[in-house]
Amino acid sequence: MIKKNLDLIIAAFIMLSIIMYDVTIDFFGETLHLLFEVLHNLFEWVELGVEDIVEHVFHVLHIGDTVEYLFITERHGSQVFTFYILMGILGFWLYKLSKFLPQVYAFFKRLVLMAWVRRKTQVQLYWFSINQLQKVAVVIAAVVFLYLASFFII
């Protein structure tokens, strides 16, 4: 039942979010804030882990004085080294994402097109199968529904 009418459920949620735009904006803003907080904490956790690994590797390798001078493992040097490691990892994942997103977009575009054609065909078959009196009743019901809904929007 839900899988069969998933496109109608999604359309209803989109219409509801357009009608109640203030609630949608607040919900979106709070969700975005929570997401940034979680991502910031995750980044700090990963950064501290990579920084500890870099410091440990530098001390285990017993690198010479010249190389040790170039890669000072004090706070700033370690943070710079960690930053470039994390930017390399981020660049790799963004590259993978850029290869994956066009396929996802094409899939959803095809899915929306199929849902549109299916629902349009259903409505046309229903409209052509009813008589004139039922058509008038459907139009009157739609007008009354839109009129009553306008009171909730205002």
pLDDT tens per residue, range 112-141: 999 999 999 999 999 999 999 999 999 999
Phi, psi of 64 (to 5 degrees): -65, 175
pLDDT tens per residue, range 27-61: 999 999 999 999 899 888 888 887 778 777 777 77
- Rounded CA-CA distance 118/67 in Å is 67
Contact 82, 45 (CB under 8 A): no
pLDDT tens per residue, range 91-114: 999 999 999 999 999 999 999 999
Average pLDDT over residues 78-87: 78
Give the closest residue to 45 by CA, choosing from 82, 3, 88.
82
- What does the pLDDT read at residue 11? 87
- What does the pLDDT read at residue 6? 85
- What does the pLDDT read at residue 79? 72
Is it the case that residue 75 has pLDDT exceeding 70? no
Per-residue DSSP letters for 107-124? HHHHHHHHHHHHHHHHHH
User: The tokens of 92 are what?
Assistant: 């790799």
- What does the pLDDT read at residue 15? 86
